[in-house]
Chain A
């Protein structure tokens, strides 16, 4: 492949991935509201379009038309940059997540990932920790005590849970012997990591909830005590930026869980299905999205079931339970490798 071909193919992939992401995020908001309604025996949005299917667009229009208010005591520049960081982090992370095996289109062998980098997992970890800056900046620059408290909580929480998250990933890396997402997926062809290392799976999922600021760990934006937390002073499209980033982070977290623990695009017993070539690829891509959808449903389902943790409970859980558990997981995986090699 020549360099121009590579650039064109990458650009096409970027457009597709961004398009899919934006639509997923928009409909995630819609499904969040629907599932919330169902869990509370309500119907949920059903006025805009058939069954409220156009609701996300109505929401975006509403936010676009709102006045953009910047508080007097805010630091204007940082206040404007914070949501951009949040969005940047949320969307660039998709670059390394593979959604399917390599496919052959018009004679080109194309991998279904924007950037097939050999340290993809590290890249995701690095970028998601940058996400803390967005929230901390937002909290600090708003010049309001609620925002500041939200920002501080968020940085403490993210730092604590990043550790157990990193250690849980350690177990996966030991098995795959690579940081490349495609290798990690291929290492789970026969047995998913969630089955081999259930403890790591649980600690990773819990940390992912904390990293995405989802209930039961949504302390940075705890409505009853902090108004809106770090985005109290945001309005209009800046607020929408945070909102989008939050849901985009949820999609990333689900995609990461699927990639690292649920076998990525691999179907269980896919060899015995007897599908050939292109159909197998289609089934694999579909299985990736189905798994991701299931994880997203789980995220929303948990939000409407479990109450919020108190701040000290959150820290206790992070440092005294999740951190040791993720260490145990590493030892467990190491022991498995010792025994079977």
Chain B
């Protein structure tokens, strides 16, 4: 152990003469920064140019809306149970349709959500998934509680993520 740490550490006496007088090393450092000054820039000019995240990105959780206009959620409440931040509130109700249960009220408090993705992982119906939406800003606390109106998202917009989940989950 001490052997390796000793051999890794460069002591002053191990430096060559040219390293000791600093100047060539400083020149090398300056050359490196100069090279970087003329290289292409990484900056993305945000409001004009938006970052499109890869499917593995965990943006805000949304509910999946089928093409038929029905929601997938069966209001089992598992997501609400698992949520470490206690951000989800589900209230179940019954319908006449084939899937007998649906959430009468589904709210995610975006001030509490920590984007952990556990709700998505636990959902038996693949009904709640993480979207690519990262632009979350509110002017008051009420606005931060997202109801079904904001959460329901057509499945066509979420295909990337669902495919990713099927592959890796």
Contact = CB atoms under 8 A, between A and B. Distances in A.
Contacts of B45: 43, 46
A41 B30 contact: no
Contact of B41 (A43, A301, A302, A304): A43
B30 A39 contact: no
Nearest to B45: A43
B30 A305 contact: yes
Contacts of A39: 33, 36-37
B32 interface: yes
Interface residues of B, number: 16
Nearest to A39: B33
A38 B36 contact: yes
A199 to B, nearest CB: 11
Contacts of A2: none
Given A305-B29, A305-B32, A306-B29, A43 B43 contact: yes
Contact of A301 (B34, B38, B42, B43): B34
Nearest to B28: A305
Interface string B1-38: 00000000000000000000001001001101110111
The 4 closest A-B pairs by CB, nearest first: A38-B37, A305-B33, A43-B43, A39-B33
A301 B42 CA distance: 20
B39 interface: yes
A42 B36 contact: no
A305 B33 CA distance: 6
A302 B37 contact: no
B33 A41 contact: no
A269 B47 CA distance: 52
Interface residues of A, number: 15
A295 to B, nearest CB: 14
Interface of B: 23, 26, 29-30, 32-34, 36-43, 45
Contacts of B33: 39, 301, 304-305
Nearest to B42: A41
Interface in A20-71: 35, 37-43, 46
Contacts of B32: 305
Contacts of B37: 35, 38-39
Contact of A41 (B23, B26, B34, B36): B36
Nearest to B23: A202
Nearest to B29: A305
Contacts of A40: 36
Contacts of B29: 305-306
Nearest to A298: B30
26 contacts: A35-B37, A37-B43, A38-B36, A38-B37, A39-B37, A40-B36, A41-B39, A41-B40, A41-B41, A41-B42, A41-B43, A42-B41, A42-B42, A42-B43, A43-B41, A43-B43, A301-B33, A301-B34, A302-B30, A304-B33, A305-B26, A305-B29, A305-B30, A305-B32, A306-B26, A306-B29
Interface in A262-308: 301-302, 304-306
A230 B26 CA distance: 28
A33 B45 CA distance: 17
A38 B23 CA distance: 23
A301 B26 CA distance: 11
Contacts of A37: 43
A35 B41 CA distance: 12
Nearest to A43: B43
Interface in A69-118: none
Nearest to A40: B36
B10 to A, nearest CB: 16
Contacts of A202: 23
Contacts of B23: 202
Contacts of B38: 38
A253 to B, nearest CB: 18
Contacts of B36: 38-41
Nearest to A35: B37
A42 B39 CA distance: 10
Interface string A170-205: 000000000000000000000000000000001000
Nearest to A302: B30
Nearest to B40: A41
A168 to B, nearest CB: 16
